[in-house]
Amino acid sequence: TALYTGSSYAWLDLLRRSRLFVLAERVVRGGSRARLVEFWLRRRGPAPAPARPEPGAGLTVWQAHQQKKDLPVYLAEPDATTARLWARALECLEAFDRLCRAAGVPWILHLIPADIQVEPGLRDRVLERLHLDPGGYDFAAPQRRLRAWADARGVPVADPLAALRAAADSAEPAGPLYERRDIHWTALGNRLAGEALADVLAADARLRTYRAE
Residue 65 placed within a domain: no
Q: Tell me the whole-structure pTM to 2 decimals.
A: 0.67
Find the helix or strand (DSSP H, E) in which 62 lies: helix 61-68
Residue 103 placed within a domain: yes
State whether 175 and 204 are in the same domain. Answer: yes
Name the burial class of residue 132, with classes exposed (0-12), middle (13-18) and buried (19+) by CB atoms within 10 angstroms of its CB.
middle
State whether 156 and 119 are in the same domain. Answer: yes
Q: Which string of b and e fits 196-210 if b means at least 16 CB within 10 Å?
A: bbeebeeeeeeeeee
CA distance 184 to 179: 6
Q: What is the span of the domain harbouring residue 21?
A: 10-52
Residue 135 placed within a domain: yes
Residue 58 placed within a domain: no
Closest CA to 195 of 150, 160, 170, 154: 160
> Tens of pLDDT along the chain (213 residues)?
334 555 556 667 777 777 777 777 666 555 455 555 566 666 665 555 444 333 234 566 667 777 888 899 999 999 999 999 999 999 999 999 999 999 999 999 999 999 999 988 888 888 988 889 999 999 999 999 999 999 999 999 999 999 999 998 887 778 888 887 667 889 999 999 999 999 998 887 777 666 655
CA distance 176 to 181: 12
State whether 109 and 194 are in the same domain. Answer: yes
